[in-house]
Structure 1
Amino acid sequence: MKRKGFIILLWVSLGTALFFFLFFTKEKSFHNFLITLLISSMYSFVLGLGNALINEFLNRKFPWSETTGIRAVLSVISIIIGNFILVYFCNYMNYVVIQKTATTEAFFSKEYGTTNWFMINIALLISAFLHAKSFMEELKKTSRKEVVEQKLIAKSANAQFESLKNQLDPHFLFNSLNVLSSLIDENPNQAQKFTASMSKIYRYVLEQKDKELVTVEDEIEFAKTYCDLLKTRFEDSVDFVFDVKKEDYKRYVVPLSLQLLLENCIKHNFATSARPLVIKIFSDNDTLCIENNLQAREQMKESAGIGLANIVQRYALLTKKNVFIEKSEDYFKVKVPILSDKPSNISAKIDTEDGSYEKAKKRVKELKGFYGNLISYCTVIPFLIIVNLLTSPHNLWFYFPMLGWGVGVASHAFQVFGVGESWKERKIREIMEKQKNRR
């Protein structure tokens, strides 16, 4: 326990001693005050330190944030058993050892049973409050930690995304200038047309490079312009076939993905008039496919690995859908996901589909409800015991609400930590995992 805890216990001991000395001690003397202070300190420190040690041990072995269900069950069991032992110890020291108002046999008889039970309920009230306070502090700490972690992840992902996008400008410009330099010597007129097309394409690159997603329609129009540029250089050696469904035009893809994939087709395959390279762009089951007949170059230039890897990484930052690559002896195909969401809604959709926040919110509500029920029980039952003992000590009716409500608290505990919806969900997941492993 920290220094602050010891100071609080000292003030509680002094305040309790003054209260009992002023209102319940007949002979006001310094000796009696010291005895009252000693008894008060014993109760405060034994119960306070005992519960603090139990709580600290459980915090180390079973943190709230990692094992919430197990920790809650252990907390309930530990505060009941622990306070039962601690209260009996304090009462024994008080009545048998210090004040000597009872013998050992009398202390464990029915005569002191009500007194012991009353003190146990008081101790349970205080202990339940401390454990609930510990839970709320751990919940706040975990929430703050998760918020910080999510911010760091978001910043890291954004920085990574920006880094990936910034690779496109120099890469595209470098390749375009290489094509232009070769055309200047071969065909100056086509080089001039190529320059005009390149300026149009580069304008699109500059417009779209700051966007996470663009419409399929915009990307297709850009791809057609880029294909015209390639046709300027390769003429009949390359053919392009576009067959994208009109209903997919308003959906979204990663910007410049088609340009990079078309560039890969040209770079990794040879094309001649006798054996033209045929590149098909079409949509199929929520994917945009780029397929070419496989005519692999025998001596390929060293690749920087930017194109396809860039697209895969950018999709990984935006969605859980994967980029698929198919290769056979006759063709090479890349499938990129077509997304239905607008760029600003993607992250929100992933969070909604996952449902982690709503599940956590529901779980916290269940735990708060249970601890509220437990604290209410530990508060009301001692009050009923006092009323019963003051009004009709020979008719102990407080047992009925104590037992009835106690069964309700126990049932609530099993529902929240053992046999509730969370238990059903866990069992369903376990069965599904077993079936999955068998397959």
Structure 2
Amino acid sequence: MKRKNLITLLWITVATSLFFFFVFTDEMTIENFMRTLLISTMYSFLLGIGNGLINDFLNKKFPWSEATTKRTVISIVSILIANVILVYFCNYMNFVVFQKAVTTQEYFSGRYNFINWFTINIALLISTFLHAKSFMEELKKTSKKEVVEQKLIAKSANAQFESLKNQLDPHFLFNSLNVLSSLIDENPKQAQKFTASMSKIYRYVLEQKDKELVTVEDEIEFAKTYCDLLKTRFEDSVDFVFDVEKEDYRRFVVPLSLQLLLENCIKHNFATSSRPLMIRIFSENDTLCIENNLQVREQMKESSGIGLSNIVQRYSLLTKRNVFIEKSEDYFKVKLPVLSAKPNVVSIKIDDTDKAYERAKKRVKEIKSFYGNLISYCIIIPFLIIINLVTNPKHIWFYFPMLGWGIGLIAHGMNVFAIGKNWEEKKIREILEKHNRQ
């Protein structure tokens, strides 16, 4: 047990010793006080340490967060058995050994059954409080850990998404400047037109780079402008065909995906007037396809890994639908998922974790309220029992507050931990999962 728990047991021992000495002891002598202190120490430490060791053992073998139902059943059985044995032993030591009020035979004859029953109930209340406290601490740790993990995942995804988008700027600019530098010597007038067109394209890049998705129509218009620039340089060596269905225009793809794939086509294949590179952009089964005839360069520069892998990673952050790649001896095709809705997954994750944190705070508040109610029950009911048995033992009335309050306590616990919340939480999870799958 922890040191603070031992100190708590020591204070409980002193408090109960003083209470029983001044209230129930006729002769207030040092000898009687020491006997009362010894008996209180025995009860406090045997029952406290016994229940504490059981709770610690069960926490290691059957944590609340991993096996709640199994832990509950084992806890009930173990504390019942342990407390019956400990109470019978403590009462035997108290009445037979220390006070010498009865013999061993008289003690086990049934004369002290009521006292044993009463003490067992007190011990069970204390043990229930210890296990409930352990459950609350475990729940708080688990809730806090889950919220922190979800926030870290969301922040990591957001940072990863921003990093991927920021790769597009230098990559596009580098390739565009390469095209421009070759045109300056070959055709200065075309270089001027190319510079004007490149400024328009770069403006589009700057406008779209902060977006997670853009319409297919915007991406197609941008791709056509970019293809015009490529035609300026390669002339008859490259040919482009656009065959995208009109109903797909209002749907969504990741920004600059076509531009990156067009760059890959040019980069990985050779193109000549006699053997032109044919690039088709068309719709196919809820995907936007980019296909080119395969004319692989014999000596290809080392790839930077930004193009296709960038698109795959960005799609993985936005949807569960995959980017498909087909390759044969004659052609190379990439299929981009076309999304009907415009999910904002990264932002949703962050918002959801904030809401989850608020829900966790509200739930912890509800749990604290329940355990405050439980602690009050464990303190006040035994006090009422003692008052009843001391003032009027023939008329037992403590059952009424004990049962009435107990039923209310059980209902409170069911509302916090069981029936009241499960269906709401399951429904919330189902809605969020359905939304994220879109």
Q: Same fold (TM over 0.5)?
A: yes
Q: Which residue of 2 is the match for residue 288 of structure 1?
A: 288
Aligned-pair distance for 1:308?
0.7
Aligned-pair distance for 1:35?
1.3
1:121 touches 1:378 (CA, 8 Å); kept in 2?
no
* Cα distance between partner residues in 1 of 2:147 and 2:79: 32
SS of the equivalent of 1:325 reads strand
Q: Which residue of 2 is the match for residue 206 of structure 1?
A: 206
Q: Which residue of 2 is the match for residue 167 of structure 1?
A: 167
- RMSD of aligned C-alpha atoms? 4.3
* Cα distance between partner residues in 2 of 1:155 and 1:358: 17
Aligned-pair distance for 1:115?
1.8
SS of the equivalent of 1:64 reads coil
Q: Which residue of 2 is the match for residue 339 of structure 1?
A: 339
Moved more, 290-299 or 372-381: 372-381
2:252 touches 2:341 (CA, 8 Å); kept in 1?
yes
Answering whether residue 145 of structure 2 is matched by residue 145 of structure 1, we say yes
SS of the equivalent of 1:200 reads helix
SS of the equivalent of 1:26 reads coil
Moved more, 363-372 or 194-203: 363-372
1:319 touches 1:350 (CA, 8 Å); kept in 2?
no
The answer for unaligned runs of 5 or more in structure 1 is: 423-439
SS of the equivalent of 1:108 reads helix
1:207 maps to amino acid: E
Aligned-pair distance for 1:383?
8.8
* Cα distance between partner residues in 2 of 1:364 and 1:70: 23
1:47 maps to amino acid: L
2:14 touches 2:37 (CA, 8 Å); kept in 1?
yes
The answer for unaligned runs of 5 or more in structure 2 is: 423-438
Cα deviations by residue, 1:384-434 (Å, 9 ceiling, x for unpaired): 9879978998999999xx99xx9xx99xx9xx99xxxx9xxxxxxxxxxxx
Q: Which residue of 2 is the match for residue 84 of structure 1?
A: 84
1:121 touches 1:381 (CA, 8 Å); kept in 2?
no
Q: Which residue of 1 is the match for residue 13 of structure 2?
A: 13
Give the number of equivalent residue pairs: 420
SS of the equivalent of 2:112 reads helix
Q: Which residue of 1 is the match for residue 425 of structure 2?
A: none
* Cα distance between partner residues in 1 of 2:2 and 2:170: 59
2:219 touches 2:256 (CA, 8 Å); kept in 1?
yes
* Cα distance between partner residues in 2 of 1:318 and 1:114: 67
* Cα distance between partner residues in 1 of 2:180 and 2:350: 43
Moved more, 211-220 or 116-125: 211-220
1:235 maps to amino acid: E
2:154 touches 2:346 (CA, 8 Å); kept in 1?
no
Cα deviations by residue, 1:194-222 (Å, 9 ceiling, x for unpaired): 22221111111122222222232222221
CA shift in 2, pair 1:124/1:357, >3 Å? same
2:283 maps to amino acid: S
TM-score normalised by structure 1 residue count: 0.79
Q: Which residue of 2 is the match for residue 323 of structure 1?
A: 323
Q: Which residue of 2 is the match for residue 102 of structure 1?
A: 102
TM-score normalised by structure 2 residue count: 0.79
Aligned-pair distance for 1:135?
1.4
1:185 maps to amino acid: D
CA shift in 2, pair 1:22/1:394, >3 Å? closer
1:327 touches 1:333 (CA, 8 Å); kept in 2?
yes
Aligned-pair distance for 1:358?
13
* Cα distance between partner residues in 2 of 1:198 and 1:185: 17
